[in-house]
Amino acid sequence: MKLQKTALIAGASGLVGSQLLPLLLASDRYAKVIAVGRRPVPMVHPKLEQRVLDMDQLEQHRLSLIADDVFCCLGTTMRQAGSKQAFYKVDYLYVVKLAALTAANFAAQFMVVSAMGAAADSRFYYNRVKGEMEDAVRQLPFRAIHIFRPSLLLGERAEKRAGERIGAVLLSVLRPLLLGPLRKYRGVPAAAVAQAMLRAAEDDGGGIKVHLSDEIAVGRTLRR
């Protein structure tokens, strides 16, 4: 029997989101998939409904954000954002705002891409913002919250990030040495993160779960 649930995805044009959107559309779990973003994705599908909106005015679009499962793939880099304030807006404010609004609309599950090393007390700004985002999301009344903490994401981006290309090359060279406890530092394909997000939603469990990079690659989870 096919389930008639609705999925909502934010950041569908990004590296993970572009891998996740086709999976959601192909899943029998969902009768409708809502893609939220500043610009439309170049895709047409009978299940797909696109909501092109200003993320700064997200509250005004609350009634367009009704779904059972919410997949948040929003994220940028300091270099791409241009400033700490702009980075904070995308990686904290937009994510937490989306989570709060969909929770108020009675969404059951929230799946969000964070980063390895995320911690609110981190001395590194990037990891600190990710940790603060996670802490804020954890307080919201979803039945299930899934936090994904990948290492360096591997895959082809629409926009080129020189730092990530260099990092991917270095990790490929070091990969044979990253064994045991160091395995978590291996790069993880964006496709693997997307697949893990859908699997987590299909689990239909409860509580808060953190998915680490090495566990994402083999389909395991860590409960926190």
Q: Is 126 a catalytic residue?
A: yes
Question: 């009704």: which residue's tokens?
Answer: 66
- In this structure, the dihedral spanned by the alpha carbons of residues 161, 166, 157 and 198, taken in order and rounded to 10 degrees, is -120
Residue with tokens 């400033």: 83
Choose, from 130, 160, 184, 209, the residue flagged as catalytic.
130
DSSP 41-96: -S---TTEEEEE--GGGGGGGGGG---SEEEE-----HHHH-SHHHHHIIIIIIHH
Catalytic site residue from 47, 89, 126, 185: 126
How far is it, in rounded angstroms, from Cα 21 to Cα 10? 10
**Length of the chain measured in residues:** 224
Segment holding 6, helix H or strand E: strand 5-10
Dig out the tokens for 208 from the structure.
């808060």
Question: Is 145:138 a contact under the CB 8 Å cutoff?
Answer: yes
Whether 160 is a known active-site residue: answer: no
Active site (catalytic) residues? 126, 130
